[in-house]
A and B are shown apart, each in its own frame.
Chain A
Amino acid sequence: QVQLQESGPGLVKPSETLSLTCTVAGDSMSGYSWSWIRQSPGKGLEFIGYIYYSGHTVYNPSLRSRVIISVDTSKKQFYLSLNSVTAADTAIYFCARAVLGTTTSFDNWGQGTLVSVSS
């Protein structure tokens, strides 16, 4: 059973860069797409983007100018970088793996990490 774990700072200052790592355990990264999804407190879910194990990325157009997702399969990690953050970026950030052969159904999730944007 694959397990995902997010890590990174829980507090980021406005205008700075949010950086998170998702560590994958229990399965290979090959063949899957790996996503970042966030949830603002008390609100719904928002897709940020995904990366294939090969490195191909797809981003939410509303975040595309500020986001980079990258992967290091040798470390079994993938990463989220979101720059120029504002209070609107305060959310629980989840990393997730999509069902094999899909990019739109997420069958394994990390526990989530709360990132607050505040000075």
Chain B
Amino acid sequence: QSALTQPASVSGSPGQSITISCTGTSSDLGNYDLVSWYQQRPAKAPKLIIYEVYKRPSGISNRFSGSKSGNVASLTIMGLQAEDEADYFCCSFGGSNNIHVIFGGGTKLTVL
């Protein structure tokens, strides 16, 4: 079972928007609307920012949004702020015959 594929790094300037992609397969990410995204700051636990493709938990800024098309999910962050600098991981249901949950390798977001 392969992990989901994310770019290693992305960057943007304050106020800009960035998008992080997460690529799976038709057996996992593409077949279920069970994609979630996590923000992880250094030495901290991951924090859920998007679940079930586009839903935001209470308290998460609407600057964060999620979407999915085919086997690719995307996380968009609008109006970049310095505090958004962190690692971002995607996650998906792995399919009935595989690992229940699979993660992407993570994307380091740098706010320039």
A residues neighboring B (CB under 8 Å) = 35, 43-47, 49-50, 58, 60-62, 94, 99, 102-107, 109-112
Contact = CB atoms under 8 A, between A and B. Distances in A.
Contacts of A50: 100
A62 B99 contact: yes
Interface of B: 1, 3, 34, 36, 38, 44-48, 51-52, 57, 89, 91-93, 98-106
Given A44-B106, A99-B51, A104 B45 contact: no
Contacts of A94: 45-46
Given A94-B45, A104-B93, A106-B46, A47 B52 contact: no
Contacts, number: 67
Contact of B34 (A35, A61, A104, A110): A104
Contact of A104 (B44, B101, B105, B106): B101
Nearest to A106: B48
